[in-house]
């Protein structure tokens, strides 16, 4: 949901005990003396606010990403005050959510390939990776396919390819992986639910 500016204000306005500062009858309109102190808040006011859900534990806290309309980049992430579970708050990992965005210089941005016996990663493009992986999957599957087991029962499976993951991707992605693995005849299928 792309919440409105007003939505953002209710989001950050909530203070301990659910009371907004402005509702305390305080005159909160002091002189704005120094521009450097206004920057971020002003940017938030004109930003696009997009809700998301935290990607760590399973509580499912809501967060609001503030996105600069000009650059399309996220520049601030805070808890979603409308969310009935976290009610704006976040733990250390949630509060640091911003460091998962591209602002983190360790993020992977290129397809990486390491050839057999290679000593380094090399950058490649998607076309290379997809066609090469498809070829490897097909060759491994065809070569190791078990049509019938030792008892002669039809099993149509491939035990030579394993799949692991993931409980930190979205449902629709999970379903795609679950179905893909079965269509390929894989049986070594698992993920973090077991560990």
Binding of other proteins at residue 69 (CB under 8 A)?
Answer: no
Binding of other proteins at residue 70 (CB under 8 A)?
Answer: no
* CB neighbour list of residue 100: distance below 8 Å, 6 or more residues apart: 55
Write the interaction track for other proteins spanning residues 127-146; mark x where CB under 8 A is met and - where it is not: --xxxxxxxxxx-xxx-xx-
Q: What SS3 state is found at 148?
A: strand
How many Cβ atoms from other residues are within 10 Å of residue 87's Cβ? 14
Closest contact distance (angstroms) between CB of 46 and other proteins is 13
Closest contact distance (angstroms) between CB of 103 and other proteins is 9
How far is the C-alpha of 47 from the C-alpha of 37, rounded, in Å? 17
Spatial strand order of the sheet with 48-53 comes to: 2-3, 48-53, 62-67, 74-79
Binding of other proteins at residue 4 (CB under 8 A)?
Answer: no
Write the interaction track for other proteins spanning residues 72-101; mark x where CB under 8 A is met and - where it is not: xxx-xxxx--x-xxxxxxxxxxxxxxxxxx
The two tokens of residue 128 are 């290379």
Whether the link from the prior residue into 117 is cis, omega within 30° of 0, is: no
Write the interaction track for other proteins spanning residues 33-62; mark x where CB under 8 A is met and - where it is not: -x-xxxxxx--------xxxxxxxxxxxxx
- Residue from 4, 5, 6, 186 touching other proteins (CB under 8 A): that is 186
Closest contact distance (angstroms) between CB of 122 and other proteins is 10
Q: How many residues contact other proteins, by CB under 8 A?
A: 151
- Residue from 46, 69, 70, 180 touching other proteins (CB under 8 A): that is 180
Binding of other proteins at residue 174 (CB under 8 A)?
Answer: yes
The two tokens of residue 181 are 């693995």
* CB neighbour list of residue 87: distance below 8 Å, 6 or more residues apart: 14, 79, 81
Binding of other proteins at residue 6 (CB under 8 A)?
Answer: no
- Residue from 5, 46, 69, 169 touching other proteins (CB under 8 A): that is 169
Closest contact distance (angstroms) between CB of 1 and other proteins is 6
CB 63 within 8 A of CB 54: yes
């Amino acid at each position: 949901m792309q919440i409105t500016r007003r939505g953002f204000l209710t989001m950050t306005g909530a203070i301990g005990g659910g009371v907004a500062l402005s509702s305390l009858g305080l005159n909160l309109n002091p002189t704005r003396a120094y521009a450097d102190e206004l920057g971020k808040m002003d940017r938030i006011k004109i930003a696009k606010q997009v809700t998301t859900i935290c990607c760590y534990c399973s509580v499912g806290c809501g967060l609001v990403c503030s996105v600069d309309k000009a650059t399309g980049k996220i520049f601030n992430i805070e808890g979603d005050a409308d969310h009935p579970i976290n009610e704006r708050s976040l733990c250390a990992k949630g509060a640091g959510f911003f460091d998962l965005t591209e602002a983190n210089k360790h993020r992977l941005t290129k397809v990486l390939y390491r050839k057999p016996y290679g000593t380094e990663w090399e950058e490649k493009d998607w076309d290379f990776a997809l066609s090469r992986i498809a070829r490897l999957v097909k060759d491994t599957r065809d070569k190791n396919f078990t049509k019938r087991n030792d008892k002669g029962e039809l099993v149509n499976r491939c035990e030579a390819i394993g799949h692991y993951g993931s409980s930190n991707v979205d449902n629709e992605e999970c379903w795609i992986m679950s179905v893909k693995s079965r269509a390929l005849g894989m049986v070594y299928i698992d993920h973090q639910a077991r560990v």
